[in-house]
Amino acid sequence: MADPQEVLSRRVQSALGAAFGPEFADTDPVIRPSQFADYQANAALALAKRLGRKPREVSAAIMEKLDVSDVCRDVEVSGPGFINLTLREDWIAERTRRLLDDPRLGVPLQEGQNIPLDYSAPNVAKEMHVGHLRTTVVGDSLARVLEFLGHHVIRQNHIGDWGTPFGMLIEHLLAVGEDSPEAELLTTDPNAFYQAARTEFDSSGPGPEDFAARARRRVVLLQSGDEETLRLWRKLVGLSKVYFNKVYARLGVTLTDDDLAGESTYNHMLADVCEELESKGIAEISDGALCVFLEGFTGREDKPVPLIVRKSDGGYGYATTDLATVRHRVDDLKADRILYVVGAPQAMHFKMVWATARKAGWLPDNVETVHVQIGNVLGNDGKILRTRSGAPVRLIALLDEAVERAGAVVAQNRPDLDAASRDEIARMVGIGAVKYADLSVAHDTEYTFDFDRMLALNGNTGPYLQYAQARIRSIFRKGGLELSEARGRITVSQDAERALALKLLEFGAVVAQVGDLLQPHRLSSYLFDLAQSLTAFYEHCPVLTADTEAERE
Ligand code: ARG
């Protein structure tokens, strides 16, 4: 690994072992970037207590055994007992050179795990909301990072494609005509279709041939596997897929139809799930419903909260399906780790599902399940983002607006560009800004959706990173050089250059950390720091007009 912190950490650790005995060799030496040197080791303070000696004395003892002459040009004890470490320029240059030659850019290859990754998961015949946008963007980022780290990621798009509303939706589809423009709405504005069906249902007469009664009969037909009804259901799902794929293509996420594993996938397992839970004595009938009561899950007045696996009318619900996802992912997908990138409000649901699955023996101890909790996206009023009329925000309209706003800035600043180029830049900046807003904050915190902030050229934003990237490109363009041909000598002389090189060397460790902690915002923070280092470098170290040829290279 190229990371200087890692290298220094190992060196200080072996000095600790040599100075105080092997039982100290695994002490964390706490290496941090410092304003007084490149890095500072901070092990002495904690060790001083353990050893009953003064921190400065401890540091001196470490120094005596510390062998870093090939890495550092200056090592000194400072303050109450820190060790300041200043790297050698030739070491930094050599490490940076290796990074340039490494197609993995210093990112380690980890021992590959099978990782089913549940993300996006919108619902058929419903609008994707900003919450789905966030699980899609965060989930896709994790998928890419984990794959790059060497894992086998199995994307699982758990779309909501089953349940009682489908009776009403199918009847509405029949009423408007399967190939009508109203049905086509499912591919562009699914909520409009859903609302129309709802209105028809709510205003229906009570007769046996009226809409509501037909819709209820349709649910029964669907559940009993009636062929014609299934065909209509597949039609609804197919139209919704067109809509999902439009959004995915717009966002540039990696999900395809092959990754769909919707709720209906598990229908054939649900009876068995219930039967096994009942026979193992884990579930019991309560008020006609089959329920699991788990220790530690209580609601108001300490009343136990049930996990309902079969409703009193015999229907199965969200919990039953999710129990089946666990069995499928463990048994068939051979999961080592299962990740669910889902809204934070569902935390309790997952805890109960997994506790039940562990009890039933479906989730072995060596398989870890993680809920990557997605915080809410709020509007300016601090409430869940809605349009002014109170309707949920249409995702495509939101993306359109981001691109439009970016386009207005481009049109103003670059009237010289042709329309096609301006459109392309607007698309990259607009979509990039929205995605980056999701990635740059910790996934489990709430944030306020604010176009002005997302699209700002300064601060931790997509456009700021894109701007840094454009600056690099422009150096190459003006120098008549291809990026891929950048194979010059590397020398490190100026401060800004040194800071930039040190940042670059951290990359691999950061990516590994993102995969271990499942926190894409750490990569964003890193890239923001990197872009800032680049900006300082760009301002202080002119490349094309450098004093010497070596510097220019
Ligand atoms: N469709 C659900 C929703 O819109 C999310 C499903 C998440 N995944 C899961 N396995 N429960 O809230």
Reported as a single tens digit per residue, the pLDDT across 111-133 is 999 999 999 999 999 999 888 99
Q: Determine the pLDDT at residue 1.
A: 58
Average pLDDT over residues 209-226: 96
Separation CA 19–CA 90 (nearest Å): 28
The Å distance, Cα 120 to ligand 1 centre, comes to 8
Q: Determine the pLDDT at residue 27.
A: 84
pLDDT at 487 over 90: no
pLDDT at 387 over 90: no
Average pLDDT over residues 40-62: 90
Q: Which residues pair with 156 in a beta bridge?
A: 118
- The tokens 């990371």 sit on which residue? 3
C-alpha torsion 462→455→404→144, nearest 10: 20
- Of all residues in the chain, the percent with pLDDT exceeding 90 is 85
Name the residue at shortest CA distance from atom 6 of ligand 1. 121
The Å distance, Cα 123 to ligand 1 centre, comes to 8
The tokens describing 341, both together, are: 């990138």
Q: Out of 120, 123, 158, 338, give the residue to mutate to test ligand 1, the one with the largest number of ligand atoms within 8 Å of its CB.
A: 158
pLDDT at 296 over 70: yes
> Higher model confidence: residue 389 or residue 494?
494
pLDDT at 233 over 80: yes
Contacts of the segment 415-422: beta carbons below 8 A, 24+ positions apart: none
Name the residue at shortest CA distance from atom 11 of ligand 1. 322
Q: Out of 123, 320, 349, 371, give the residue to mutate to test ligand 1, the one with the largest number of ligand atoms within 8 Å of its CB.
A: 123
> Which atom of ligand 1 lies at the shortest distance from residue 158's CA?
8
Q: Out of 244, 264, 346, give the residue to mutate to test ligand 1, the one with the largest number of ligand atoms within 8 Å of its CB.
A: 346
Closest CA to 129 of 180, 78, 194, 183: 194
Q: Are 153 and 146 in contact (CB under 8 A)?
A: yes
Average pLDDT for the chain: 94
The Å distance, Cα 397 to ligand 1 centre, comes to 23
Average pLDDT over residues 540-549: 90
Name the residue at shortest CA distance from atom 8 of ligand 1. 158
pLDDT at 93 over 90: yes
Is the CB of 158 within 6 Å of ligand 1?
Answer: yes
What is the phi/psi pair of residue 257, to 5°?
A: -60, -25
pLDDT at 392 over 80: no
Is the CB of 55 within 6 Å of ligand 1?
Answer: no
**Helix (H), strand (E) counts: the chain:** 21, 13
pLDDT at 91 over 80: yes
> Which atom of ligand 1 lies at the shortest distance from residue 343's CA?
12
Is the CB of 118 within 6 Å of ligand 1?
Answer: yes
State how far Cα 65 lies from the chain centre. Answer: 43
pLDDT at 18 over 90: yes
The Å distance, Cα 318 to ligand 1 centre, comes to 8
Separation CA 334–CA 56 (nearest Å): 52
The tokens describing 378, both together, are: 């709020």
